Amino acid sequence: MEKILYAAMCAILFLCCSSSDESEANSQSPFTLPDKAIVLAEQASKSVVILDASTYRTVWSWNPEKAGVPSNCQTWFHNPSEVKPVFNNQYILMTASGGAVALIRIADSKLMYYAYVGENPHSAEILPDGNLVAVSSTNGKLRTFMTDTIKGTGKWFASYELPSAHNVVWDLQRELLYTTEGIKLCTYKYNFNRKEPRLQDRSVIFELPNTESCGHDLFPVYNKIDVLWITTNENVWQYDIKNNKAELIYPLYAVKSVCNSADGVLMLYPTTEWWSDGLINEKGKKLFNIYGAKIYKGRWVMNNTFSYPKEHKPKFE
């Protein structure tokens, strides 16, 4: 009889504790983005940081230690090098120079998927079926990944030689992947195979003037379906896909990232080695300073309709 009473009391205590834990968990409401936001690749703290663009105050941050990344993989996340808002601004696609590509859900900071790309990754892209493609510059590789959010990690599936690999952008309308090889702008087609993602039919479609070197950032121009930003070691350009020509926009050297929205242009112009503690606008004015920060890239948090559909939902949910 005593054993029965003891078991009953334990069961009641377990249910009460479970109910309490659930109430506490449910009381933690998911993060909500401000009306205007900027996401940063911040290398000093090995973090992805979101700012309220109205105040330039940090409202969200993520780093591998807090996310519980296994200790043997945490070095992969050193020096974040790309931050792209994806899936209707609900996720961040990131790379880091230590070797990682990763997909992070903003609402609860959950690391959905990560993998090792290679030596010094600089950028990544979401393919239409939810798979990933990423580039690493030191070993000159362009690699595809089957996104597996059940396992949460994986390895590259297909690998392609791409000297000076720094960028990659998907074109939704034309179903093409863009990237630069030095000053050459190249395209690839995708096989749309979820389990065996491959690229094919590589073409060189344009070459910048030989006064330029090392295509660095490649990003869609806001509200245009035919124009891409390209930065080099020397200048900032816009490439017109339809007319196959490039226009020099800003004579600024070594710009690491450029993007624009209805609220203006954001650029990372390095002031110390390859980083800065703030972003500049199209007039060269510094918009903010974060003491001690080493910012490598900054993007507006907004829907990218050049690369993704208006209703861009994860394939894995």
pLDDT digits (tens, 9 = 90+) for 47-89: 999 999 999 999 999 999 999 999 999 999 999 999 999 999 9
* Residue 45 φ/ψ, nearest 5 degrees: -105, 10
Whether pLDDT at 21 is above 60: no
Six token digits for residue 128? 């239409």
Q: What is the pLDDT of residue 97?
A: 98
Q: What is the pLDDT of residue 287?
A: 98
Amino acid at position 260, single letter: N
Whether pLDDT at 26 is above 60: no
Which domains are seen in the chain, by residue range? 30-300 (2.130.10.10)
The model's pLDDT over 223-255, given as tens digits with 9 standing for 90+, comes to 999 999 999 999 999 999 999 999 999 999 999
Q: What is the pLDDT of residue 124?
A: 99
Order the strands of the 57-62 sheet from edge to edge. 57-62, 47-52, 37-42, 295-300
Q: Alpha-carbon torsion 175, 170, 198, 315, what sign?
A: negative
Q: What is the pLDDT of residue 315?
A: 78
Q: What is the pLDDT of residue 317?
A: 55
In this prediction, residue 25 has a pLDDT band, given cuts at 50, 70 and 90, of very low
Q: What is the pLDDT of residue 210?
A: 96
> What percent of the chain is modeled with pLDDT above 90?
89
Enter the pTM of the model.
Answer: 0.90
**DSSP for 224-251, written as a single string:** -SSEEEEE-SS-EEEEETTTTEEEEEE-
Amino acid at position 134, single letter: A
Six token digits for residue 21? 């834990």
Q: What is the mean pLDDT of residues 265-278?
A: 97
The model's pLDDT over 165-187, given as tens digits with 9 standing for 90+, comes to 999 999 999 999 999 999 999 99
Whether pLDDT at 15 is above 60: no
Q: What torsion, rounded to 10 degrees, do the Cα atoms 215, 279, 246, 304 define?
A: 90
Whether pLDDT at 7 is above 90: no
Whether pLDDT at 11 is above 60: no
Q: Over the chain, what is the mean pLDDT?
A: 92
Half-sphere exposure of 272 (CA within 13 A, CB side): 9
Query: For residues 172 and 91, what is the distance between their CA atoms, to the nearest angstrom?
Result: 19
Q: What is the pLDDT of residue 28?
A: 62
**Closest C-alpha to 231, from 265, 204, 203, 276:** 265
